[in-house]
Amino acid sequence: MTGPAILLLVIGLGAIAWLSARAKAVRLRAGGATRLHSLPNLHGWYVALWTVLPALLFLAVWSNVSPGLVTQAVLDNPAATELPADAFARGAILSEARNIATGSQAVAFNPLAQKFAPLYQEAQSRYNSAGVFLALMLAFSGGAYAFTRIRPDFRARTRVERLVMMTLLLASLIAIVTTVGIVASLLFESARFFSMVSPLDFLFGTNWSPQSAAMGFGHEKAFGAVPLFWGTVFIGAIIAMAVAIPLGLMSAIYLTQYARPAVRAWIKPMLEMLAGVPTVVYGYFAALTIAPALRDFAVSIGISNASSESALAAGLVMGVMIIPFVSSMADDSIAAVPQSMRDGSLAMGATTSETIKRVLIPAALPGVVGGVLLAVSRAIGETMIVVMAAGLAAKMTLNPFASVTTVTTQIVQLLTGDQEFDSPKTLAAFALGLVLFIVTLLLNIVALRVVKKYREAYD
């Protein structure tokens, strides 16, 4: 019997259990003198859960255990003495036999495997039917046990709801499990990397050439990540912010202070569309349109070695992507400034722009700064734009027309293409990921703290 069929069978049994238990509860209610503690539906659920859950749990365990048992059964067969003693060769023959038995392979390359295939098939079908039988037994006995417990005063609801609460808690715990998974996988792989390359060389070295390390030259000095950090900061925190902060802030000011509501209702969704465009589209746009235009511009103003992949192209486009983010953060913090402060300033005769510049912005500054920090954290974690437009040259330069590389670009570069999972070249990606994770986490914590502190000040 195949997996889905068994699953359907068990669920069908559960449905029957639900119906019969509910019918019994209804009969109790109709004929009994006392009131039922729980609704008939809940009695139905109680019995159905007792029918389905033990059987499913058993099947989950069984599907993990039975392949080992099948192999053991084949090895216990007298014919197994013909198998080579070498564990590797034996494993190869057995796995081939298994493939033939399950039908995923038609003909054997090894005659021994052909011989073992029927043995396998037999053992497999034996264990399979044993598993189905045990699962059905469990379903029946579980259902029967629960069925006999249906009485007018039986607290079926309490029990079903306890299970519901446990499910809810489990669903919430997945967030913690994911966080732990991220931290653990990053830490584990980074630890392996740092056992090969000194953390100091990694964090403070200025030479990044993992390709040469992969080719067998010494890798002590090939993993200096400072050029990557510089490239990330240059694109994400300097160029992108030089675009996003003025444009985002001025957009927010215009929309909240000047624009008529009808205009605002149209413009705001359009700005938000900028945030909804996938980053790969921005990346393609930067590489196809912006970067060549910038190179031509650089050549025309006399920079002869301008590259077709430039920090400026990636940074500009990334800045545009961040505009709605900065704008909505600024919007929120300006809206949080008490109206009385604005009214006071206007009443003293200040123009609207003077009020904005002298009163609103200073009062909203902590919120704006927090928003900018969040935007920086978003920008340095951004991948596709820099992968497609910023280039791979790990160098420290202030020239925005030159090609620079970033942490995320290098992670993609190191992990795509052929991978051997033990080389420092691959593991370096995880060390870079760890740095990125820590920095974005810190930026977020600081930003949220700044914003929160400021909010409390006016409440």
Partner 1 sequence: MALKGGSMPLAAAARAPTDWKAQQMQQRIRQRYAAERRFRLLGLFAILLSCGFLAFLLVTMVGNGARGFTQTTISLPVDFRSAPVMVDPAMLKDGNADMILSSANLPAVTAQAARDALGPDGERLISSNSWLALRKAIKADPTLLTQQAVIEVPAATDIDGAAKGEGSPQAEAAYARLKEKGLVSTGFNSSFLTESDATDPTQVGIWGAFKGSLLTMLVTLALSFPIGVLAALYLEEYAPRNRLTDLIEVSINNLAAVPSIIFGLLGLAIFLNTLHLPRSAALVGGLTLALMTMPVIVIAGRNAIKAVPPSIRDAALGVGASPVQVVFHHVLPLALPGILTGTIIGMARALGETAPLLMIGMRAFIATPPGGITDPATVLPVQIYLWSDEVSKGFVEKTSAAIIVLLVFLLAMNGLAIYLRNKFEKRW
- Nearest residue to 431 (alpha-carbon basis) of 210, 227, 199, 208: 199
**Binding of residue 437 to partner 1 (CB under 8 A):** yes
Among positions 329, 402, 411, 451, the unique one binding partner 1 when judged by CB under 8 A: 411
Residues 83-102 that bind partner 1 (CB under 8 A): none
Residues 178-237 that bind partner 1 (CB under 8 A): 178-179, 181-182, 185-186, 188-189
Would you say 135 or 439 has its CB closer to partner 1? Answer: 439
CA angle 373, 375, 380 (to 5 degrees): 95
Among positions 139, 239, 356, 376, the unique one binding partner 1 when judged by CB under 8 A: 356
- φ/ψ of 208, rounded to 5, equals -115, 105
Cα pseudo-dihedral 373, 374, 379, 382, rounded to 10: 150
Q: Print the binding letters for residues 41-80 with partner 1: x by CB under 8 A, - otherwise.
A: ----------------------------------------
- Nearest residue to 424 (alpha-carbon basis) of 276, 220, 171: 220
Kindly give the interhelix angle for 424-458 and 407-415, rounded to the nearest 10 degrees: 150
**Binding of residue 106 to partner 1 (CB under 8 A):** no
Bridge partners of 208? 223
Among positions 30, 171, 301, 347, the unique one binding partner 1 when judged by CB under 8 A: 171
**Binding of residue 438 to partner 1 (CB under 8 A):** no
* Residue 18: both structure tokens together: 């639900």
Would you say 81 or 172 has its CB closer to partner 1? Answer: 172
Would you say 304 or 421 has its CB closer to partner 1? Answer: 421
Contact of 384 with 355, CB cutoff 8 Å: no
How far, in Å, CA of 74 to CA of 446, rounded? 61
CB of 257 to partner 1, least distance (A): 8
Contact of 220 with 379, CB cutoff 8 Å: no
Residues 247-276 that bind partner 1 (CB under 8 A): 247-251, 253-255, 257-258, 267, 270-271, 273-274, 276
Q: What is the DSSP letter of 305?
A: T
In sequence order, the 6+-apart residues with CB closer than 8 A to the CB of 209 are 222, 394
Q: Let me know how long the chain is.
A: 459
How far, in Å, CA of 312 to CA of 57, rounded? 57
Stretch that binds partner 1, among 73-81, 118-126, 209-217, 411-419 (CB under 8 A): 411-419
Residues 372-401 that bind partner 1 (CB under 8 A): 374, 377-378, 380-384, 387-388
Q: Binding-site residue total for partner 1 (CB under 8 A)?
A: 83
**Binding of residue 168 to partner 1 (CB under 8 A):** yes
Residues 276-335 that bind partner 1 (CB under 8 A): 276-285, 287-289, 320, 323
* Residue 146: both structure tokens together: 């629960």
**Binding of residue 361 to partner 1 (CB under 8 A):** no
Q: What is the DSSP letter of 258?
A: I
Stretch that binds partner 1, among 105-113, 131-139, 218-226, 412-420 (CB under 8 A): 412-420
